[in-house]
Amino acid sequence: MPKTILYIHQSAELYGSDKALFYLVKGISAKQKFNPIIVLPNDGPLKDLLESHNIRVIIFPVIKVSRSMFKPLALIKLPFTILRTTKGLNKILKNESIDLIHSNTLAVLLGGFYARRYKIKHIWHVHEIIKKPKIVSFFYPLIVRLLSQQVVFNSKASKDFLCKDNKALEEKSIVNLNGIDRDVFFTSEKEIIKTRNKLFNANKDDIVLALVGRISKWKGQHLLLDAFVKCRVKYKNLRLIFVGSAPPNQEHLLEDLNNKIEIYNLQEYCKIIPFRKNIWNIWDSIDIAVVPSTEPEPFGLVALEAMLAKKPVIAAKHGGLKEIVDEDKTGFFFKPNDSKDLSKVIKQLVEDKSRIIDLGLKGSEKAIKDFSLTRHINQFVQIYDKM
């Protein structure tokens, strides 16, 4: 009998934790011994993608953690919400025998409470480092420990953060680094020239820096722009692209970024490209990936993708990025939040074109060797089997 695993996730977009879930579930469902069912809070591209692979998706409220949840009235209502929602989900699943629940990210509470109420084993898969608000970061270690039999972190950085001074939580925790396989052909030379021309306003000899990721307060778009403007004084062939959109209701972040590009008078050399489904075409067409996140990345899937596209990575030296990039072998680090240091590192790399190619090739070798999807999935299979 296949084991039925209920996955509960917080969004139906296609950013980091969404893609990580998709890759995992796709791999798991290919093994005959598992039957995954996914719960998402709403429709979206992730739902379509899962369903196109014949994976069952249920749309249901996942008790998503938000700031408003910590207002006094909302806190009073929370136990009732938990009771009502867990019962509602149980009704939907009445014909299923669920063997295991896998909560993907700390943002969903439904999995932990559902598992507790109906006595099902629960894995919490942590993809974040939550420092603020303080009240949330204070309670999480306790909640995660009480509601899970196994906690899986996507990096040592995210594990160290949540398990700090908490031996009981540490004992039920392990790290399973994300993995991806590139299952898309490399873009043809002709197509690359077209993309660079059309989307980046760049020719063959220009050097294109890219930050791929949602436009947010902590992904570092402004920091990179500050560094870029310093570099452009000497290196006129530099281009910068930001790829990704602002989250719903935060469109002002896009406006702020556009304004800054205008103030610097960089409209010709710096482009913002809204969320792209086909990200490999972008990775293949750029020269250097920059991951300048101002808060520590829990993992940083974009660094791994860039490496698989044979691109060097310039990364802020904190969080999960330290576990992906090798200094001076597959990329370079700079001091987090320091645009001057970032510009220094960019200048150093753009001086030497052959170094860009060499670091990119080494990055690809490392990504294939150490971050394969097969390794990532097999580690989860072992965990599921053990439970």
Q: Identify the CA nearest to 219 among candidates 244, 240, 191, 252.
A: 244
Q: Identify the CA nearest to 271 among candidates 262, 280, 281, 263.
A: 262
Instruction: Tell the smallest beta-carbon distance from residue 58 to ligand UDP (Å).
Output: 23
302 binds ligand UDP (CB under 6 A): yes
Toward ligand UDP, which CB reaches closer, 85 or 154? Answer: 154
Toward ligand UDP, which CB reaches closer, 6 or 315? Answer: 315
The number of residues that bind ligand UDP (CB under 6 A) is 18
Using only C-alpha atoms, what is the Rg of the chain? Answer: 22
Binding test (CB under 6 A) with ligand UDP, winner from 41, 112, 141, 213: 213
Distance of CA 255 to the CA centre of its chain: 23
Toward ligand UDP, which CB reaches closer, 89 or 215? Answer: 215
Question: How open is the CA angle 218-182-321, to the nearest 5 degrees?
Answer: 30
Instruction: Tell the smallest beta-carbon distance from residue 279 to ligand UDP (Å).
Output: 4
Q: Identify the CA nearest to 216 among candidates 182, 189, 242, 178.
A: 242
Instruction: Tell the smallest beta-carbon distance from residue 300 to ligand UDP (Å).
Output: 5
**C-beta of residue 44 within 8 angstroms of C-beta of residue 11:** yes
Binding test (CB under 6 A) with ligand UDP, winner from 111, 141, 300, 363: 300
Interacting residues with ligand UDP between 127 and 166 (CB under 6 A): none
Residues 10-29: x/- map of binding to ligand UDP (CB under 6 A)? ----xxxx-x----------
Q: Identify the CA nearest to 152 among candidates 124, 115, 194, 187.
A: 124
89 binds ligand UDP (CB under 6 A): no
Binding test (CB under 6 A) with ligand UDP, winner from 226, 284, 287, 305: 305
Toward ligand UDP, which CB reaches closer, 148 or 293? Answer: 293
**C-beta of residue 26 within 8 angstroms of C-beta of residue 43:** no
Instruction: Tell the smallest beta-carbon distance from residue 274 to ligand UDP (Å).
Output: 7
Instruction: Tell the smallest beta-carbon distance from residue 364 to ligand UDP (Å).
Output: 16
Q: How many other CB atoms are found less than 10 A from the CB of residue 138?
A: 9
H helical segments located in 243-297: 252-263, 279-285
Tokens (6 digits) for 51? 């369903």
Interacting residues with ligand UDP between 216 and 245 (CB under 6 A): 243-244
Residues 254-283: x/- map of binding to ligand UDP (CB under 6 A)? ---------------------xx--x----
Instruction: Tell the smallest beta-carbon distance from residue 361 to ligand UDP (Å).
Output: 21
Measure the CA–CA gap between 354 and 212, rounded to whole angstroms. 23
Instruction: Tell the smallest beta-carbon distance from residue 84 to ligand UDP (Å).
Output: 30
309 binds ligand UDP (CB under 6 A): no
The stretch near ligand UDP (CB under 6 A) out of 69-77, 189-197, 208-216, 342-350 is: 208-216
3-state secondary structure (DSSP) of residue 272 = strand
Measure the CA–CA gap between 46 and 40, rounded to whole angstroms. 9
Interacting residues with ligand UDP between 279 and 298 (CB under 6 A): 279
- Distance linking the first and last C-alpha atoms of the chain: 15
Question: How open is the CA angle 159-164-169, to the nearest 5 degrees?
Answer: 70
Helix axes 373-386, 16-30, angle to 10 degrees: 70
Instruction: Tell the smallest beta-carbon distance from residue 275 to ligand UDP (Å).
Output: 4
**C-beta of residue 24 within 8 angstroms of C-beta of residue 181:** no
List contacts with ligand UDP (CB under 6 A).
14-17, 19, 212-214, 243-244, 275-276, 279, 299-302, 305
